Chain A
């Protein structure tokens, strides 16, 4: 499994969907128009969504660090 995964700061997400438009794995999608949710299992941590996000609310987290 990839080392990193994308995490959305949902409070400030504008639910534009720019992230889901660029995600190669369909691992991120806007939930009912409110904010984007990431499927951690599918995410490969490529960071394309973070690069596209106009609200700067996506960060890439380390899986191991998150588990520890």
Chain B
């Protein structure tokens, strides 16, 4: 039985498009805010993970590369990466790095630092990216945010790709900060129900 395809089953294209656009013009990095805000808004107001379950281009891309194109080794995700401690720890680390990126943006806005036209991979490796921006097009801080945000997106995509190759196609989803955060919101929203189920189970 073939499953019916929906328009949103092709959002993996968006994932590729995003990185391509940012390669030529870094200001497109701002579009990544969609991938940040949408999952959260859906979780907060919808009380579900419709984003992860249907809309996430990244998850789809990993499934496609690792599943259909058979690039994935398919080994189980290492257990430690799936534990709550690691998942929440990684979320906190990621948010701290996001906060740091906002602070760097602020420093540029306040004139304390100059604009750095570079991408930082894995929070350490600096890669020049100056072709993707002509100075003065927008206020410096707008450009600085673009470089910072694109760095975060690219770093997490690279980690996800390596996970896809070594383990299961969507192994990244086991500890993806957005996934952890939205699940946390949903669980808080269902708190009463979950407690009740637990009580019933323990009877």
| Residues of A bordering B, CB below 8 Å | 12, 14-18, 20-22, 24-26, 30, 32-34, 51-57
Contact = CB atoms under 8 A, between A and B. Distances in A.
| Most chain B beta-carbon contacts within 10 A, residue among A17, A51, A54, A56 | A54
A16 B174 CA distance: 8
5 contacts: A30-B49, A34-B183, A52-B169, A54-B173, A55-B82
B151 to A, nearest CB: 24
A33 B77 contact: no
Given A51-B168, A57-B82, 12 more contacts: A14-B174, A15-B53, A16-B53, A16-B173, A26-B3, A30-B49, A32-B190, A34-B183, A51-B74, A54-B171, A54-B173, A56-B79
A14 B82 contact: yes
Contacts of A25: 1
A33 B43 contact: yes
| Most chain B beta-carbon contacts within 10 A, residue among A18, A22, A52 | A18
| Most chain B beta-carbon contacts within 10 A, residue among A24, A33, A56, A57 | A33
Interface residues of B, number: 41
A39 to B, nearest CB: 15
B148 interface: no
B182 interface: yes
A14 B187 CA distance: 11
Interface in B158-177: 167-176
5 cross-chain pairs, A with B, having the tightest CB-CB distances, nearest first = A33-B186, A17-B53, A33-B49, A16-B173, A54-B174
Interface string B32-43: 000000000001
B52 A24 contact: no
B170 A18 contact: yes
